[in-house]
Amino acid sequence: MTSRERTLRSLAHQPVDRLPVDFWASDAMIARIESAFSTSYRAFLDAHDIDLRYIDGPAYIGPALENGRDIWGVPRVTVRVPVKYGTEVYKDVTDFPLARATAVADVEQYDHWPSPDWFDYSPVKAQCDALHEQGRAVVFMGDRMNRVAQLKPAMYIRGVENILMDLALNPDIAHEIINRIRAFYEEYLRRILDAARGGIDIVFTGDDFGSQNGPLMSLAMWRAFIRTGFGSYIRIAKDHGCTVMHHTCGAVSEMLPDMIDCGLDVLQSVQPEAAGMSLAALKKRYGARIGFHGGISIQQTRPFGTPADIERDVSAIRKLFKDDGGYIFCTAHNIQADTPIENVAALLEAYRHHPGASG
């Protein structure tokens, strides 16, 4: 069974030889892996038969991004954070360009709205073909600065507190910002999928809707401001024959029925420490209608646990999904460089010890 067959069959709740495996790591952790295992990251993924692979997507060919600005005109600065085994590197926002907007006209006059014409989509098909030749499941996710989303870009452009306050106090401004973001990503995604010509198996959207203890907004607000775009992205992907996976951190269980009604196929990342996000509880309530990806802690067990703890976690998840699939093994988010390398090895070994649905 190829990775592609295994992944899509598992998400369709069909029998597989083992549960599919994905692997997420930060850039600093990737550097440690390459050093510790004396190999390239790509070879590392191949050696451990990681099933999902992510294409780069279209190439940016638009106006020069000056002074650290991203495609939304948001300026960023590189921040280096020392951790136990290395240094993590992040891009922090230094200014929210629409933070001082007081009317819809200010949003309309903003001169940094991106265009789908700023990208060359011609490399996408070859990227897909190269991975399909290896039998892998092909995923388009984009990078952290340009991922099909709504709320996240609005937070970058307007400011986190401002856009959340707008939902209640300035709904016209919130709608204008979010509608413009949605219009860009609808066309951007459509062009990517047209260029792929059926080569993308999973479209991965990403928008954080939850904190550790609860949603970032009420369900009524999510429905009023986010649901339309959420459903639109899914329809575009499904019109091109793709499975749709959505990433959100935090406690979002109360939003999940709406996400399912919109046609979502897979919820990612299933953060186990977040309120109400137990994989067992989510599967019991929603498992017949949606698949899951992630759920293996990077906050506790990976950095602070032992290999035996990791084996226990993986074993419990395997028992949960072994009979009817609907799951992809992965950590809840990128494994950070504060994680002992032996725990990375233990995680991959645990996947092999617990092969999945027919094991």
Strands 291-294 and 266-269: parallel
Q: Tell me the domain boundaries of the chain.
A: 3-59+121-149+186-353
Contact 225, 169 (CB under 8 A): no
pLDDT value, residue 94: 96
Give the torsion through C-alpha atoms of 165, 166, 167, 173, to 10 deg: -170
Per-residue model confidence as pLDDT tens for the chain (359 residues): 999 999 999 999 999 999 999 999 999 999 999 999 999 999 999 999 999 999 999 999 999 999 899 999 999 999 999 998 889 999 999 999 999 999 999 999 999 999 999 999 999 999 999 999 999 999 999 998 899 999 999 999 999 999 999 999 999 999 999 999 999 999 999 999 999 999 999 999 999 999 999 999 999 999 999 999 999 999 999 999 999 999 999 999 999 999 999 999 999 999 999 999 999 999 999 999 999 999 999 999 888 999 999 999 999 999 999 999 999 999 999 999 999 999 999 999 999 875 544 44
Distance CA 304, CA 321 (A): 25
Handedness of CA 7, 119, 147, 87 (dihedral sign): positive
Contact 187, 119 (CB under 8 A): no
CB atoms within 10 A of CB 144: 12
**What are the two backbone dihedrals, phi and then psi, of residue 158, each rounded to the nearest 5 degrees?**
-100, -25
The tokens for 186 are 């609808």
β-pair partners for 138: 53
Its pTM stands at: 0.96
pLDDT value, residue 136: 98
Exposed/middle/buried for residue 238 (C-beta within 10 Å: 0-12, 13-18, 19+) = middle
pLDDT value, residue 359: 42
pLDDT value, residue 354: 54
Amino acid, res. 109:
Q
Distance CA 160, CA 76 (A): 15
Give the torsion through C-alpha atoms of 279, 280, 281, 284, to 10 deg: 120
CATH for the stretch 3-59+121-149+186-353: 3.20.20.210
Contact 156, 74 (CB under 8 A): yes
Distance CA 115, CA 325 (A): 40
Contact 58, 125 (CB under 8 A): no
Which of 206, 154, 141, 211 has the alpha carbon at shortest distance from 180?
154
β-pair partners for 247: 206, 268
pLDDT value, residue 302: 86
